[in-house]
Amino acid sequence: MELKYEFYIHAGREEVWNALISPDGTRSSFFGSELRSNFQPGQPFAYVGPGNDGQETVHVYGEILEFEPLSRLAYREHPGPSYYANHGDLQSRVLFQLETVGECTKLTLTNDEFTENHPSFSNAQNSWWMILSSIKTWVETGKTMNFGG
């Protein structure tokens, strides 16, 4: 199972990269969560924000696989503990890639290597469209998107 998305964003790679890793960028695009990590391969990361366990809910956590500034970010992820009792057994890989195309940045997201029968697969299909649309909007306009709920 593989999910793959390509978005063209009218901005430089620095701005798009900032949206992927900075607290302001991730809060604006990842449903209010911050990406917390030292970004060293082999080291942990977590998206933490409002949710089932209050303001410090761990939504996704795992291990950084690749970190090439302005180019590639990859991690192995697990759903947060409040989602599934067997969260540690469930995983997938996420890879963000940035390329300059003219005056734009092409953002490619690949989410693959899902554990068999991963219960979050269908949710990921929907959520990535929202997250990527939010990244594009925030980078291009400075505004966040409100999906309600």
Residues 6+ apart with CB under 8 A from 55: 49
In this predicted model, what pLDDT tens digit does every residue of 9-43 receive, in sequence order? 999 999 999 999 999 999 999 989 999 999 999 99
Reference 76, options 92, 88, 52, 95; nearest CA is: 92
Of 37, 17, 30, 2, the closest CA to residue 98 belongs to: 17
Note the pTM of the prediction, 2 decimals.
Answer: 0.93
CA dist., res. 77 & res. 40, Å (int): 15
Q: How much is the average pLDDT of 97-118?
A: 97
Residue 82: how many CA atoms within 13 Å on its side-chain side?
13
Domain boundaries, the chain: 3-141
Phi/psi at 42 (5° precision) = 90, -10
Q: What's the fold here for domain 3-141?
A: Alpha-D-Glucose-1,6-Bisphosphate; Chain A, domain 4 (3.30.530)
Q: What's the mean pLDDT in 86-114?
A: 97
Predicted confidence (pLDDT) at residue 147 exceeds the cutoff of 80: no
Q: What is the mean pLDDT of residues 113-128?
A: 92
pLDDT in tens, 52-82: 888 999 999 999 999 999 999 999 999 999 8
pLDDT of residue 149: 59
Two tokens, residue 110: 């690949």
